Amino acid sequence: MGATMKDIAKRTGLGLATISSYLNGGNVREKNRIKIEEAIEELHFEVNEVARGLKTNRTKTIGIIIPELNNIFFAEIITEAEDILRNHGYATMICDCRSDEKREAEAEEFLFHRRVDGLILMPAGNGADGLSRFLRAGKPVVMIDRKMDQVDCDCVLVDNEGAAAEAVERLYQAGHRKIGMIAGPSDVYTAKERLKGYRSALKKRGLEPEESLVARGDYTIAGGARAMHQLKEQNAEMTAVFISNYEMTVGAMMEINDSGISVPEELSVIGFDNTDFAKASVPRLSIVTQPTGEIAKCAAELLLRKLEGETEVRPVEGGTAEESGEKQVKRREAGKSETVKLKTGFVEGRSVKQL
Amino acid sequence: MGATMKDIAKRTGLGLATISSYLNGGNVREKNRIKIEEAIEELHFEVNEVARGLKTNRTKTIGIIIPELNNIFFAEIITEAEDILRNHGYATMICDCRSDEKREAEAEEFLFHRRVDGLILMPAGNGADGLSRFLRAGKPVVMIDRKMDQVDCDCVLVDNEGAAAEAVERLYQAGHRKIGMIAGPSDVYTAKERLKGYRSALKKRGLEPEESLVARGDYTIAGGARAMHQLKEQNAEMTAVFISNYEMTVGAMMEINDSGISVPEELSVIGFDNTDFAKASVPRLSIVTQPTGEIAKCAAELLLRKLEGETEVRPVEGGTAEESGEKQVKRREAGKSETVKLKTGFVEGRSVKQL
DNA sequence: ATGAAAGCGCTAACAA
DNA sequence: TTGTTAGCGCTTTCAT
């Protein structure tokens, strides 16, 4: 086993409190400081954060629960969040629950037992029971990409409705009138919002949303391909399609390519997420993008603010200062839960034809 | 604060040891079991794994250090590894070091202070100093996708050389003779191996590897695009190209599309990794694939075996039994470090033209 | 500025 | 089977 503070104390002839004080940046006489540092060096001492956590009741660890790590949208958020949190001394324990409610509940319990100080989660299910233990224990929870009315916690959302509406409006502007949509699962928050945006954009232009123009996918590649197939079968006159998440965009493109449809000549396409794929597609895809970095930043900051007791959360070094003009903060109850809704972006490609 | 074992003891009138015994699956009289369970229920007791970890000196936590979480290859490995480890009661702390040696060293220190029981890492740098503390403390380390002779720890590798050679051989078989390669950074282990494979495959066929046919990328999208550009500039007669990682494949495809080169008519292409992208490309890309699931499984199992003291590591439920025929285990020193080298796969697309 | 001592929530002897 | 007790390595009063 490694050396402990006790060993350092013995070695230097100093008391435990002095060592502790030194380790925590307290004042120590110069002479002693040197002695301590020598002892630490010789004994290879390294603090035991576990013991510290037990004593202070703060593990400096954040739990993150996501539906799929193996998904660029989530992975990007995690990368950024982990970076910010670690810069503030917090470790992150990530649990991938494979979009499964049961696994999600297990992850909540698992992380609670490990006494994480806070939680960032993107719920797969709708049940929020598992969160109660965190809330009861006064541990902050930030929800991402989903909104649950029964739960009182901070939320970081994206303007999904607006994003979908914008995509449709762009297609309308380009002269399209028969605009299809590949929608997501009817029980997923973001999917509902995006569908709402599609419909409202059409209505705004006096077009009646036709049921046949909406195909349900399940946010997977295979589902996207199926939905695309169905859409073409049912709508010979359709000239454009809006696909409402990344995986389905990939699937739809596969189907489009396989069936020899040429984009944008025969069909205009607006996809979702992942600039890389969009850029490498032929032709370059026009897509709605989500501000993954901003999402992570907001979530981490919301959490840190509660954790550090509302004291200033220093901006992470190197973080670009004021790009947050696009942030709309909506306070719900003073001092209580906050909901932040972020704007989406749009990357222009060559997959939309001007009619 | 939540209830502790002491509270349960008081509430039931039993001793601490009895509660502990109950919690750890020991024998407790039926009557008492019920009393304990009632108390746990009423007091909302949940074990404190931090305290347990302090006492037992085992945190049941594994550290994972990777160059980029935001990278499908790594993300897939993590997903799988996290799943297996959690099924064995281990949490995972993931540190993304952004391919930066300094961050990597920080991560090692960070995780050690948190007393992780073991480490899985894919080193960004070549310095292995940070690992010594783990090795000295007797904590198992498994290295993935990289081999460092100075370090004595388990390794899980992929037959990179063989994979590259196979790709080149396929191009040769299709009649190509001027075969280019987009290689990775000259200081990265996998990149070196893949380049070696390219060269040996050519030599085997009596072709002398020409320097101009190899362009160096840096394993990024932008680098892949640049390398592709350079390759075409320098080699008008080149009829095929092998691209040696996923990001560069995306970049190269972007460049190819932008410059109007048609695949495979004018140029045959074999890419690397990520089946989804390959399938959604036009035409479908032929690619070398890496067995991410197997890599994760091997790494996790190697770790668990050391952790659980060489006792049987139960296969995770649902894991397909004997697909491991392709696994070549090479013992280096009995009972000491093991190196596992896994075979790559190949997905046939339509990006290679038969000449 | 430094030391002594108590205790965070748990496990593990050892006794009973 | 169950209870008592002593720590795991640290922080934190409270003295000095």
CB B282 within 8 A of CB B310: no
CB B74 within 8 A of CB B98: no
Question: What are the pLDDT digits (tens) for A179-214?
Answer: 999 999 999 999 999 999 999 999 999 999 999 999
**Partner-chain contact B250 A280, CB within 8 Å:** yes
- The beta-carbon neighbor of B280 closest among A53, A253, A283 is A253
Interface-testing mutation among A46, A69, A84, A275, with chain B (most B C-beta atoms within 10 A): A69
The residue among B129, B75, B120 whose CA lies nearest residue B102 is B129
CB B253 within 8 A of CB A280: yes
Alpha carbon of A206: minimum distance to chain B alpha carbons (Å): 35
Average pLDDT estimate for A37-61: 97
> Which residues, numbered 230 to 269 in chain A, qualify as contacts with chain B under a Cβ-Cβ cut-off of 8 Å?
250-251, 253-254, 257
Q: Using pLDDT thresholds of 50, 70 and 90, give the confidence band for residue B321.
A: very low
pLDDT at B312: 37
**Partner-chain contact A277 B277, CB within 8 Å:** yes
| Tokens 């008391």, residue located | A15
Question: What are the pLDDT digits (tens) for A74-124?
Answer: 999 999 999 999 999 999 999 999 999 999 999 999 999 999 999 999 998
CB A194 within 8 A of CB A183: yes
User: Is it the case that residue B151 has pLDDT exceeding 90?
Assistant: no
Average pLDDT estimate for B154-160: 97
DSSP A344: P
Contacts of A119 (CB under 8 A, 6+ apart): A62, A63, A64, A65, A108, A111, A131, A134, A139, A140, A141, A142
pLDDT at A43: 96
How would you class B25 by CB atoms within 10 Å of its CB: exposed for 0-12, middle for 13-18, buried for 19 or more? exposed
- The beta-carbon neighbor of B113 closest among A49, A57, A283 is A49
Whether nucleic acid strand D comes within 7 Å of the CB of B141, the answer is no
Pairing state between β B286-289 and B268-272: parallel
Å from the A87 CA to the D7 C1':
34
pLDDT at B344: 97
Q: Using pLDDT thresholds of 50, 70 and 90, give the confidence band for residue B313.
A: very low
**Distance of alpha carbon B140 from alpha carbon B142, whole angstroms:** 7
Strand runs labelled E in chain A: 61-66, 91-96, 118-121, 141-144, 154-158, 179-183, 214-216, 240-243, 268-272, 286-289, 327-331, 338-342, 345-347
Alpha carbon of A7: minimum distance to chain B alpha carbons (Å): 16
Q: Which nucleotide is closest, CA of B30 to its C1'?
A: D1
**Average pLDDT along chain B:** 90
The residue among B185, B338, B349, B353 whose CA lies nearest residue B277 is B349
Q: Using pLDDT thresholds of 50, 70 and 90, give the confidence band for residue A70.
A: confident
CB A69 within 8 A of CB B82: yes
What's the alpha-carbon Rg for chain B, to the nearest Å?
25
pLDDT at A335: 54
CB B292 within 8 A of CB B73: yes
Whether chain A has a CB inside 8 Å of the CB on B92: the answer is yes
pLDDT at A316: 37
Whether chain A has a CB inside 8 Å of the CB on B91: the answer is yes
User: Which secondary structure element, helix H or strand E, spans residue A37, and what is its range?
Assistant: helix A30-43
**Partner-chain contact B82 A91, CB within 8 Å:** no
Q: Using pLDDT thresholds of 50, 70 and 90, give the confidence band for residue B78.
A: very high
Residue B287: half-sphere exposure toward Cβ, Cα within 13 Å? 25
Pairing state between β B327-331 and B338-342: antiparallel
User: Is it the case that residue B309 has pLDDT exceeding 80?
Assistant: no
How would you class B233 by CB atoms within 10 Å of its CB: exposed for 0-12, middle for 13-18, buried for 19 or more? exposed
**Distance of alpha carbon A86 from alpha carbon A92, whole angstroms:** 8
pLDDT at A282: 84
Question: What are the pLDDT digits (tens) for A295-352?
Answer: 999 999 999 999 987 433 333 333 333 333 333 333 333 357 899 999 999 999 999 9
**Which residues in 42-81 of chain B line strand D, with CB less than 7 A from it?**
51, 54-55, 57
Indicate if the alpha-carbon torsion angle B60, B66, B71, B73 is positive or negative. Answer: negative
CB A131 within 8 A of CB A153: yes
Q: Residue B246 is which amino acid?
A: Y
pTM to 2 decimals? 0.90
- The beta-carbon neighbor of B93 closest among A47, A92, A276 is A92
Q: CA-based angle A309:B49:A336, to the nearest 5?
A: 25
Interface-testing mutation among B5, B46, B59, B69, with chain A (most A C-beta atoms within 10 A): B69
CB A223 within 8 A of CB A251: yes
**Distance of alpha carbon B69 from alpha carbon B152, whole angstroms:** 25
- Counting other chains too, the contacts that A30-34 makes at CB distance below 8 Å and 24 or more residues apart are none
Chain C nucleotides covered by protein, CB below 7 Å? 1-14
Whether chain A has a CB inside 8 Å of the CB on B133: the answer is yes
**Distance of alpha carbon A147 from alpha carbon A165, whole angstroms:** 20
Bridge partners (DSSP) listed for residue A68? none
**Distance of alpha carbon A153 from alpha carbon A155, whole angstroms:** 6
Q: Which two tokens stand for residue B189?
A: 């282990």
Bridge partners (DSSP) listed for residue A62? A92, A118
Alpha carbon of A196: minimum distance to chain B alpha carbons (Å): 28
C-alpha separations of B55 from A183, B5, B59 in Å: 52, 14, 9
**Partner-chain contact A82 B96, CB within 8 Å:** yes
Q: Which nucleotide is closest, CA of A45 to its C1'?
A: D9
Strand runs labelled E in A30-124: 61-66, 91-96, 118-121
User: Is it the case that residue B114 has pLDDT exceeding 80?
Assistant: yes
The residue among A257, A260, A237 whose CA lies nearest residue A249 is A257
Alpha carbon of A204: minimum distance to chain B alpha carbons (Å): 34
The residue among B48, B57, B60 whose CA lies nearest residue B19 is B48
Chain D nucleotides covered by protein, CB below 7 Å? 1-14
Å from the B243 CA to the C7 C1':
61
Contacts of B243 (CB under 8 A, 6+ apart): B181, B182, B224, B228, B249, B252, B269, B270, B271, B272
Interface-testing mutation among A221, A282, A292, A316, with chain B (most B C-beta atoms within 10 A): A282
C-alpha separations of B107 from B83, B103, B126 in Å: 22, 6, 15
Whose CA is nearest the C1' atom of nucleotide D8?
B55
**Distance of alpha carbon B95 from alpha carbon B173, whole angstroms:** 43
Q: What are phi and psi of B141, to 5 degrees?
A: -130, 135
Question: What are the pLDDT digits (tens) for A152-168?
Answer: 899 999 999 999 999 99
Q: What is the 3-state secondary structure (H, E, C) of B181-241?
A: EEECCCCCHHHHHHHHHHHHHHHHCCCCCCHHHEEECCCCHHHHHHHHHHHHHHCCCCCEE
Whether chain B has a CB inside 8 Å of the CB on A86: the answer is yes
Q: Residue B294 is which amino acid?
A: E
Q: Which nucleotide is closest, CA of A16 to its C1'?
A: C3
Omega within 30 of 0 (cis) for the link into B283: yes
pLDDT at B252: 96
Helix segments in chain B, DSSP class H? 5-12, 16-23, 30-43, 49-56, 72-87, 101-113, 129-136, 160-173, 189-204, 221-234, 246-258, 275-280, 292-307
pLDDT at A199: 98
**Distance of alpha carbon A102 from alpha carbon A122, whole angstroms:** 14
Q: Which residues of A6-36 are buried (b: 16+ CB within 10 A; e: fewer)?
A: ebbbebbebeeebbebbbeeeebeeebeebb
**Distance of alpha carbon A81 from alpha carbon A309, whole angstroms:** 19
What region does B166 belong to: left with phi over 0, alpha with psi -120 to 50, or beta? alpha
Question: What are the pLDDT digits (tens) for A257-273?
Answer: 889 999 999 999 999 99
State the helix-helix crossing angle for B72-87 and B292-307, rounded to 10 degrees: 40
pLDDT at B37: 96
